[in-house]
Structure formats: C-alpha cells, structure tokens
Structure 1
Amino acid sequence: MSRSSYQATELTGRPAVAYTRPAPALAALVERYWWSEGGAGALPRLLPGTGAELWVHWSGGVDLRPVDGGPPTPLPAGHLVCLRRTPWSLEHRAGAGRPGFVAVRFRAGALRHLVPAGLDELADRVVDTEELWGAPGRRLVERVRSARGPVARVAVLDRFLTGLLEAHRRPEPWLDAAVGRIYRGPAGLRIDRLAETVGVGPRRLQRMFPAAVGAGPKEFQRLARFQRLARLLLREEPPHSLPAALDAGYYDQSHFTREFRRLTGERPAELLGPGRSHFYYPSLPPDGRPGARTTREETS
C-alpha cells in the first residue's frame, strides 16, 4: 500500500497533526492512523467515552494525572487506551524531549478482534503494549521508534495489526452488528429489540457484550451518546446546545448537564465550547474512496 510522504511542521506553536487510512484488510477495524509532532502546549482532557486507541511515542512522553489531583503517572511509550468512565488529564513529560507519537484509532467494537483479553478486563486502564501482547508488543515500540518518518511507522503498524487479526479474530458477527447498531443508533434503541434484530436472546447479548467493548449494552449506549454530543459541541460549535442535546437523546438541557457532571465532575461550560483543545475528528467511513490518503490537520 503506497502512502504519500509527510513532513510535520509546527503551526502557530501548535503541533502538526496528520492522518492516513489503514491497509484495506484493516479498514473495517481501524478508522485511521494519526500522528503528531512538535509543539509542547497543554494536551486535551481525555473525556469519558467508548473509544479505543493504541499510542506509540517515538519521542517525548506523556504523564497521566488524576483529575482530582495527585502525582502524575508516566505512561509507557506504547500503550492502549480503551473505554473510559472517568476523565483523564494528560501532560507532556517534563524533560522528555520534543513530543512525537503515532496513534491507531479503532472502530467501535473492533478491538476485540486484536487482543487476547476481554475488553471488560481492559476498560478504565492504560495498558502497556508489552503487558498485553508480550514480546511482539515490545518489538512494536522498538520498530516504530526506529522507523524513519510517518509512512514507515504506519507500515510497521499495518504489519503488527494484521498479525494480531490473524491470531485473535473472533466469531459472532452478530455481536459486531449489535455494537455498531448501539454506537450509531438512536439513544432510544431498546436492547431487547436489538437482540431480536441480530438474532440472539437478550440474556446472551447482555452476557457477551462487556467482553466485546468493556461495558454492558446500556452503559455503552450512554457513553456513546455522551461522546457523540461532546464531539459535536467541540467540533461544530452549534449556536445552541439544547437542540443538539435533544437530538442526542437527552430529555432536556438539565438532563445533559447532570449526566455531564456525573461523568466528569464538572459543568459542560468548563470543558466544552469554542477554542477548546480536543482529540475529536470527523469519522472516516470504511468504504471511503479507494487509495490511501494523507491529510494534514491542525489541532483544535
């Protein structure tokens, strides 16, 4: 798979951000590879959500600090972030050098086909790639760090993930369908009717869902709803948040505010709004136009 070369440059003091699509065999599982280098400004708050990402730092480093205070915890150079029920504060590690990382953004429910463990064991954690995948996870970090440029780093990730898929691909296509329907479906989607639609009983769906995504179907539905609205408010900046909250499935503005405070401990105005830095990008469909594409984006 050919990809155009890319040389990141700092833009107005912010890190340059770019992305490309995965190899065709991984398109149903990987939404994008994206990378950032340069800039040492504050990192965005990582809000609760259903998203799963694999990060590998080729330079610099990141610390995780509890939002309620306390000392920072250094994150491994290669680590996996899964479903989160609480927000995390991320900081550039002091003295670690110029920041540079490449990340893999997985599609909803895809990670279960790439890991040896159930996602209920990985939720609310930052997992070292070596802890999860053993020696191959350690070698992944070494190869990304020694690769020259984004095209070479993405090629390393393509090979690594293709090998994982061959080793860990799981059956139950109905479960993938159920995850997708909940993630993209309306907030009022009933789980019992969903089970009937995908051809299984409600108890089986309830039993198998946590290992597939990290939470039960109703909780996953609530986190996906929260994530969709947070993405909208941060990216598109609608003039009025109430219609957006209603469209997302909240009863009213106070319902969304209560849910936001329950998940983050803060009011929406403290974390959302124009000019806020974030990691949200428009979704790339798996059936996008043929050919790889590399695009520059400036961090928000």
Structure 2
Amino acid sequence: MHRIRVVRHASERGGWEMALATPPPALAPLIRDYCGFREAMPQPMRRQELPGVQVVLILEFGPLLKHLDDAGRVTRHRSGFVAGLDERWSTTEHNGESHGLQVNLTPLGARRLFGLPMHELAHRVTGLEDLWGGEARRLVESLAEARDWAARFALADAFLIQRAERGPAVDAGVKWAVERIQRTGGQVDIATLASELGHSHKHLIHQFHEQVGLPPRRLARLLRFDRAVERIKSGGPVRWAELALELGYFDQAHLNRDFRQFTGGPPSALLRRALPDAGGFESGA
C-alpha cells in the first residue's frame, strides 16, 4: 500500500497535480520514488531537467513530451522514455497538457529492470518501446485506464516486480561501493574503495561502467550536486558557503563550478527558476 502525497498548484501560469509516492519494500532497492503528474497550462511549458543520481523512467499516457538535449536535438517517444545517468542538463517541453508517471530508478535498479550494460543507457534518452517493446505499450494503456493514482502505482509495482525478477543479478561489490558512496555523501576516496574491495582502480571503473553507467568519482560528484538541488527544492533561504562545506565541497567556488556545468549558471539562478508545489525548474532558455 503506497503512501501518496498529492500536491496541487493553480495560478495564472496554469495548474498541475503531482502525486508523490515511495516504492513498496520489494522495490525499495531499485526505485527512489514515484511522481505521477497531470498538467493543464495556457501555453507551452519548458522545464530544465537536471542531471542526478537516478535513471529517469517516464511513462506517458497524455500528449507526448518533447525532449531537447543540450545540442538542440528534439525527440519524442511513444509510450515514454528512459533518461540514463548524465552530466548534462536537458529540456522537456509540452504544448500545455501533460499526463504521465515518472519513476526515479537507482542505477542498479535500472540495471535489473532493463538488463543492459548501463553505459548503453548513459548520456542519452532511449524510447521505452525500444527497450520493452509491446510490454511498454500495454503498460501505458493500463495506466491510462486506471481510475486513480493509487491504482496506477499498484499497476506499476506489479509490472516492475515482474521485470526485476527476470533481470540480471547485481554484483555484490558494486552494490557495496555504490552504497558506500551514498552513505558518505560522495566523500570517499575511490582508490581506498577499490582497495577495500580487493580490486584495482581500473577494474572498479570497468565494473561501474557496466553496472552503473558512470565511474565512481563522477557518480560521487553527481551525488553532491543532487543533494544541493534537493536543498533548493525544499524551500527557504540557502547559505551557499555553508551548504558547500556541508556537502563536502572544498569551498563555494567548487559548488558554483558544478552548478555551472550541470545547470548552465550559478546556484542563485537555479533558485530563481524553481517552480512552486513540486513543479521542478523552469527552463532558462
């Protein structure tokens, strides 16, 4: 049984409903959280999609989202898409109406659910039907017909549990290393990590390439950035210098460097573009 929190927004810019939920215990190692969404806007809406430590699965049962990468390439994918781990931001756009379900997967969860070397999904957006074929289409049709968010989450749970049962096992050493990076907030020496596992640095990087999609040092960097973004989303004033030290940055300049790489501007600019009521970040373009 999901604990669902529904957040609604209505203003001159339009309205949206976000249904936020955590996964059941059987999926907790694979899924960070769910977000069901429904939007009705008076004009097209663009959002900046930031890099993070989750692989994003979008199931669409409304008009298809446009996805624009940082080179300006535009794609649409019937049924939805998967955005692998990346170190670049992208943009999504809809023409005023959007309806679907976002599933934020852990990298190792994505490995179980898609059964691919994760470097094949990293740094790109892949159509869901290219990965799951007709299963993706049938799942989306069922979600569209479901009576409410609780029913949709239950359908998604059942489908994903079945997929996970058919998926490849995750290497225990890689799982331990990922959990160690998460527990330390990315503040762990990668050479020490490899040594504790009894691996060479090169072998650990190869294992992460296959099962996570990014090498451990870059995953740790994304984790620090992701936690900074979560602090912005939580609302309230942010003291950037204090936040930088809390998250393990050497100083605020290093925090600013990551924000410029991952968002295109300083942290204060992202804060100004934060939408209320779990609405994400408006695109600066």
Category of TM-score, reference length = shorter chain: 0.7 to 0.9
Moved over 6 A (4+): 4-8
- Counterpart of 1:140? 139
- Counterpart of 1:124? 123
Unpaired segments of 5 or more residues in structure 1? 279-296
- Counterpart of 2:80? 78
1:181-200, CA deviations, whole angstroms, 9 ceiling, x for partnerless residues?
Answer: 11331444111211233454
d(CA) in 1 for partners of 2:76 and 2:232? 30
Check conservation: 2:67, 2:74, Cα contact below 8 A: yes
d(CA) in 2 for partners of 1:128 and 1:154? 21
Amino acid corresponding to residue 82 of structure 2 in structure 1: L
Specify which structure has the higher proportion of strand. 2
1:193-233, CA deviations, whole angstroms, 9 ceiling, x for partnerless residues?
Answer: 11233454433322101122211111111122222222223
Shift of 1:174: 2.0
- Counterpart of 1:193? 192
Shift of 1:57: 1.5
d(CA) in 2 for partners of 1:123 and 1:166? 23
Shift of 1:244: 0.4
Amino acid corresponding to residue 133 of structure 2 in structure 1: G
Amino acid corresponding to residue 24 of structure 1 in structure 2: P
Give me the CA root mean square deviation.
2.7
- Counterpart of 2:178? 179
d(CA) in 1 for partners of 2:256 and 2:4? 44
1:251-277, CA deviations, whole angstroms, 9 ceiling, x for partnerless residues?
Answer: 222222223223333333322x25613
Amino acid corresponding to residue 234 of structure 2 in structure 1: R
- Counterpart of 2:283? none
Shift of 1:67: 4.4
SS in 1 for 2:37: strand
Amino acid corresponding to residue 275 of structure 2 in structure 1: S
TM-score by length of 1: 0.81
SS in 1 for 2:47: coil
Amino acid corresponding to residue 76 of structure 2 in structure 1: P
Identity percentage over the alignment? 29
SS in 1 for 2:67: strand
Unpaired segments of 5 or more residues in structure 2? 281-285
Distance 1:9 1:173, change over 3 A: same
Check conservation: 2:5, 2:21, Cα contact below 8 A: no
d(CA) in 1 for partners of 2:236 and 2:16? 22
- Counterpart of 1:287? none
- Counterpart of 1:58? 61
Number of aligned positions between the proteins: 276
| Larger RCO (CA within 8 A; separation ≥ 6) | 1
TM-score by length of 2: 0.85
SS in 2 for 1:84: coil
SS in 1 for 2:180: helix
SS in 2 for 1:277: coil
Distance 1:25 1:224, change over 3 A: same
Q: Which of residues 256, 275, 278 is equivalent to 1:277? A: 275
SS in 2 for 1:45: strand
1:258-273 matched pairs, under 5 angstroms: 258-271=257-270, 273=271
d(CA) in 2 for partners of 1:24 and 1:9? 27
Distance 1:6 1:247, change over 3 A: closer
Check conservation: 1:44, 1:277, Cα contact below 8 A: no
Distance 1:24 1:277, change over 3 A: same
Check conservation: 1:50, 1:83, Cα contact below 8 A: yes
1:1-300 matched pairs, under 5 angstroms: 2-3=1-2, 11-12=10-11, 13-40=14-41, 42-67=45-70, 70=72, 72-93=74-95, 98-271=97-270, 273=271, 276-277=274-275, 298-299=278-279
1:146-187, CA deviations, whole angstroms, 9 ceiling, x for partnerless residues?
Answer: 323222222221121111111113142221111121133144
SS in 1 for 2:45: coil
Check conservation: 2:8, 2:15, Cα contact below 8 A: no
Check conservation: 1:15, 1:298, Cα contact below 8 A: no
